[in-house]
Amino acid sequence: MHESTGVRRQRARPSTRRDLNMLTQADVIHSLPVHLQPFVATQDYSAYTARDQAVWRFLLHQLIFSLQGKAHPTYFEGLAKTGISFENIPRIEEINHCLSKLGWRAVAVDGFLPPAVFMEFQAIKVLAIAVNIRSFEHMLYTPAPDIVHESAGHAPFLIDIDYAEFLQRFGELGMQAIANQHDMDIYEAVRELSIVKEDTVSTQAKIDAAQQKVEDLQNTKVDPSEANLLARLHWWTVEYGLVGKTHDYRIFGAGLLSSLSESQDCMNDTTVSKHSLTIDAINTAYDITTAQPQLFVTESCRHLSQVLAEYGRHMCCQRGGASALHEAKTAGSINTITLNSGIQIAGTISKVRCDAVGNAIYFNTVGPTQLAYASRQLNGHGIDHHGQGFGSPIGKLRAIERCLSSYTVDELKRHNIEVDKVVTLNFLSGVSVVGLLKEIVRREQKNIIFSFIACTVKDSAGHILFDPDWGNYDMAIGSSVTSVAGGSADQERYPIYDAPSSNVSLKQDYDEVTRAQFKLYAGLRECRESGQSANALSNEISTLENCDWLLLFEALELTTDETLRERLTNRLKSEPDQTLIRQGLIRLTKSV
């Protein structure tokens, strides 16, 4: 988002044929990491109704009209360069074809994704685009992700290299952020609310119940997790960010760009306060069900990256140490500990022992635990082998200056550490390990695991930390904790989310009257694209007693039938979509 004195507006022409070299959805899906593939949906383009296409067309034309002078100039340029047509719902292949020139890809997804999964897509430069489009009933605003928000909101700014790099870096940090169970409960509740609201047969009681569940969770007093704080920063920048100065700004947040209501309301400095973006933005919570009372203004992409880096420096994945272990233990979720040898231990941390000055000297996990190196599970050390948990000391041995990981096999022998011999390891912390050493696991000329049988582990007070009756003892080697990150190390072998969700977006069942209107929508589109007269269809539509205001609007665009305009004007008195009708009529008047 660089400085610009003018707004470039380029219209992308509707695609008339597919590029023979265009990657298919299946090609892109198969290129993804295996653990991400279950979260990808297939875009069935034939499932979009003629009214869906009209919803897209109205919103895109209206957004471009209303965003003039409000959105950052890069947005208009980006629409043309990322395969976003104003006339038709974009095909994922077409967006993917355009994004590939920028080093990105696109996949279709079904509604909300677990935050860590969404962030990982972003980290590997894949734009996740919700396959569904908001319903006619919720054109002005929908709490659910939809193709308008994802493609017309997020994709255009990827043409800015600095912004694209910022977005990727956000994903890299986001996928490592430590979440807690409360985060997942909110995710599932919000996803359920979005599905219920978009389902045309949902009763008001069902909607109210889903809304209440979200509000109850939001009002629950839980200290925000690392992932939650990062999500706030994402919200106030990527989704609802402004760029410029607090008194002179433009929109770049996708949530604002894809909302006809909030993109207008946010410019009112009286009702929506503006603040310069700092790291303190993480202290401001947000509510996706209502308009935001305040927004944050960044000066540039460099400013965005600086604030993100400032937060990243304090994340457990970067700071490591005992404090990171304690934070992960409090979260109660599956996280990955990385020691300075490179060994990774993924599981739910249950205990952290520290010395008198706060150094971590021993940790335990409970339940399925995975040992890995370079994010690849080590043979024989998966969750089936360590199903009950894992424990290991951290630190250096007495009278040995270097970390055990750096010693060669010959050097270890000189310290009486040798395979098939009873070995005694006395740590500086007072922890002792005594047992028959059966194997030394090495990677990249480093020792990362000592495997013992008949092993006893005690702390400085003589308390048993591991008893020989418990089985064989695998000790992770490392003198310090360099990182604690959210999720498992090798997610293909230790998946955290078995499926996208038990809830999926629902298919709609339309009555005969509505399906009859779909045919009229399709007829108007055919007239528009072929250049044929729409007078006959317009006359038929003008006589319908109960029809969508959008159908009246589409017909009015193609004719000068004042009956249609009069009916639309009358709808302003009682129609729930008054704002949309009013804005549409203003656009038609100014375009004449």
Beta strand 273-276 with 294-298: parallel, antiparallel or unpaired? parallel
Whether the pLDDT of residue 323 is over 90: the answer is yes
Q: What are the residue boundaries of the structural domains of the chain, listed by start? A: 25-179+252-268, 181-224, 316-486, 512-591
Phi-psi region of 470 (alpha: psi -120 to 50; beta: other; left: phi over 0): alpha
Residue 151 to residue 128: CA distance in whole angstroms = 9
pLDDT digits (tens, 9 = 90+) for 496-548: 886 664 455 556 778 899 999 999 999 999 999 999 999 999 999 988 988 99
Query: Average pLDDT, stretch 136-155?
Result: 86
pLDDT digits (tens, 9 = 90+) for 438-452: 999 999 999 999 999
What mean pLDDT is reported for the chain? 91
The reported pLDDT for the residue numbered 190 is 83
Q: What token pair was written down for 452? A: 């013992």
Q: Which amino acid is at 489?
A: A
Please indicate whether residue 187 or residue 433 has the higher confidence score (pLDDT).
Answer: 433
- Which candidate, 591, 592, 546, places its Cα nearest to that of 571? 546
| Chain centre to alpha carbon of residue 511 | 35
Residue 505 to residue 196: CA distance in whole angstroms = 9
DSSP for 168-218 reads HHHHHHHTTS---HHHHHHHHHHHHHHHHHH-TT--HHHHHHHHHHHHHHH
pTM to 2 decimals? 0.89
CATH superfamily name and code, 25-179+252-268: Aromatic amino acid hydroxylase (1.10.800.10)
Q: Which amino acid is at 448?
A: I
The reported pLDDT for the residue numbered 13 is 37
Find the Cα–Cα–Cα–Cα dihedral 95, 239, 503, 328, rounded to 10°.
120
Whether the pLDDT of residue 273 is over 50: the answer is yes
Residue 384 to residue 366: CA distance in whole angstroms = 13
Residue 551 to residue 51: CA distance in whole angstroms = 8
The reported pLDDT for the residue numbered 104 is 95
The reported pLDDT for the residue numbered 5 is 31
Place of tokens 């100014």: 590
Length of the chain, please? 592
Query: Average pLDDT, stretch 473-479?
Result: 98
Q: Are 472 and 307 in contact (CB under 8 A)?
A: no
Q: Are 211 and 190 in contact (CB under 8 A)?
A: no
Whether the pLDDT of residue 559 is over 70: the answer is yes
For residue 230, count other CB atoms closer than 10 A to its CB: 26
Query: Average pLDDT, stretch 77-103?
Result: 92
Q: Where are the beta strands (DSSP E) in 270-310?
A: 273-276, 294-298
Q: What are phi and psi of 105, to 5 degrees?
A: -135, 170
- Which candidate, 7, 152, 39, places its Cα nearest to that of 90? 152
Residue 191 to residue 220: CA distance in whole angstroms = 18
Beta strand 241-245 with 294-298: parallel, antiparallel or unpaired? parallel
- Which candidate, 579, 583, 577, 517, places its Cα nearest to that of 547? 517
- Model confidence at 281, pLDDT cuts 50, 70, 90, reads very high
| Of the candidate ranges 269-278, 284-293, 326-335, 351-360, the one whose mean pLDDT is the lowest | 284-293
pLDDT digits (tens, 9 = 90+) for 375-428: 999 999 999 999 999 999 999 999 888 999 999 999 999 999 999 999 999 999
Share of the chain above pLDDT 70, in %: 94
pLDDT digits (tens, 9 = 90+) for 11-20: 333 444 444 4
pLDDT digits (tens, 9 = 90+) for 212-260: 998 898 888 889 999 999 999 999 999 999 999 999 999 999 999 988 8
| Interaxial angle between packed helices 578-591 and 549-558, expressed in degrees from 0 to 180 and rounded to the nearest 10 | 0
The reported pLDDT for the residue numbered 306 is 97
Residue 380 to residue 18: CA distance in whole angstroms = 48
Q: What token pair was written down for 41? A: 């949906």
Residue 63's contacts (CB-CB under 8 Å, 6 or more residues apart) are: 152, 257, 258, 260, 263
pLDDT digits (tens, 9 = 90+) for 324-347: 999 999 999 999 999 999 999 999
Whether the pLDDT of residue 493 is over 60: the answer is yes
The reported pLDDT for the residue numbered 592 is 52
The enclosing H or E element of 339 equals strand 334-339
Query: Average pLDDT, stretch 10-39?
Result: 70
Q: Are 474 and 390 in contact (CB under 8 A)?
A: yes
Q: Are 435 and 456 in contact (CB under 8 A)?
A: yes
> Angle at CA 430, nearest 5°, toward 424 and 432?
25
Share of the chain above pLDDT 90, in %: 74
Place of tokens 């630190």: 395
The reported pLDDT for the residue numbered 305 is 96
Residue 554 to residue 537: CA distance in whole angstroms = 11
Query: Average pLDDT, stretch 88-104?
Result: 93
Residue 274 pairs in a beta bridge with 295
Residue 452 pairs in a beta bridge with 437, 473
